[in-house]
Amino acid sequence: MFGFFKKREPDVQKVDLAAVNNREKAEALHRAGLLQKLFMRPLKFGGDEHPLNTIFVPPAVVKQKVDIDEQVIEPLIEAAKVTKYSVKPEYEGASVVPTSLTITVSDPETYKFPIAIWGSAIDRAVEASDRVYAAREALYSQHFGAIDGDVQKLMNLTGVWPGGCLVQIHAARHQLWVSSSFGLTNPDMPARTRTEQYAVEQDSQGRATRYSMRLVGRPPRAVPADWAGYGYEILLLTREKGYWPLGFLNWAVQAEILNDMDLRRRIHKYGAMTVEDVSIGEGKSGDFLIAPIQQFAPASIALPNGSMELLVATLITRPQMQYGIEKGGPALLAELDQTGHGQISQTPG
């Protein structure tokens, strides 16, 4: 866990953090290079070197917190989105090494950044993921139908979106197929890693035979504290099952996780938005309108870790795309409603 973001010396893995039950032991491990000193409230944010502001944690945790402070929180402060900063450590047994840290910045906006370090905090993170997965699956089953059959994992997001996938649901009572992301609202999102040096090896017939990549740490993007992960899942609604919707979802998920598209905020700002020339496989591309779901399910649903909005991408024609650019996304959405098919995508020709 500690060394996921950087190479560790072998001895660091052998430290029994539960046995570090006094400050003297923590300082001895610090002198040995096995633990590092961390100021909970950074000096640059008004903290001091007082023992009450000082804890000892594995080196990778220091880097993780410093990256969050400097790359995420400091820009929020500079943009006047937050003015208050606090850190809450949690402990287990007699250990003076926290099992987790939760950074909260607030006023006027609120953001939280949890860091699980060891012990029960790791177990709770796994349990939280299980609860969210089960709740989301139940909600999809309630409004659309059961998730049956295979799910699609995105190989180049292995280790970046570990609990995420794409699903296709036969919503028989609506006479629809629902293709959807399933995991953008996971508790471990926004992503805390990214990929570098991604490569695919192919055989003589063009079939993938090996995937390789390098995972590196990154601080999670700031999202409001009441959002579940990125705050949304994105869907396509079609009358027939097809694989082309997965092509769009492949693009949309990567645009969010790898390129910080911040789709939920954009939809809140514009009401609906268009995207142009998205690859949908087999050398084809399409234009899409993205907007909150208008029927079949509530636009916003509560999950155990926050709110999930359902956004629907609808395949549109180039004239409709031009209409959306000129009149705005909400006007195009109203136009689609008048045609009778609303947010249900027609099969591309």
Residue 316 has pLDDT above 90, yes or no: yes
Mean pLDDT score of the chain, rounded to an integer? 91
Residue 342 sits at the vertex; the CA angle it makes with 337 and 344, to the nearest 5 degrees, is 175
Query: What's the chain's Rg over C-alpha atoms?
Result: 23
Q: In the structure encoding, which two tokens stand for residue 245, read together?
A: 């919707």
Query: How buried is 19 (Cβ within 10 angstroms: 0-12 exposed, 13-18 middle, 19+ buried)?
Result: exposed
For residue range 266-314, what is the model confidence (pLDDT) as tens digits?
999 999 999 999 999 888 999 999 999 999 999 999 999 999 999 999 9
In terms of DSSP H, where are the helices of 290-328?
Answer: 318-327
The model's pTM is 0.88
CA atoms of 294 and 344, how far apart (whole Å): 10
Cβ contacts of residue 146 below 8 Å, gap of 6+? 169
For position 216, what pLDDT does the model report? 80
pLDDT of residue 7: 39
Tokens of 114: 């949890």
Q: Per DSSP, what are the bridge partners of residue 101?
A: 89, 115
pLDDT at 207 over 90: no
- In this predicted structure, the answer to whether residue 183 has a pLDDT above a threshold of 90 is yes
Give the Cα separation of 264 and 227 in Å (integer): 10
pLDDT grade, residue 213 (50/70/90)? low
CB atoms within 10 A of CB 280: 22
Which ranges of the chain does DSSP label H, i.e. alpha helix? 10-13, 23-31, 59-67, 74-78, 120-143, 244-257, 263-270, 318-327, 329-339
Is residue 9 scored above 90 in pLDDT? no
Looking at the predicted structure, is the pLDDT value of residue 172 above 60?
Answer: yes
Q: Could you tell me the two tokens for 279?
A: 């690859």
Q: What does the pLDDT average to over 214-230?
A: 91
Cβ-based neighbour number of residue 49 at 10 Å: 9
Q: Give tens-digit pLDDT for 102-131.
A: 999 999 999 999 999 999 999 999 999 999
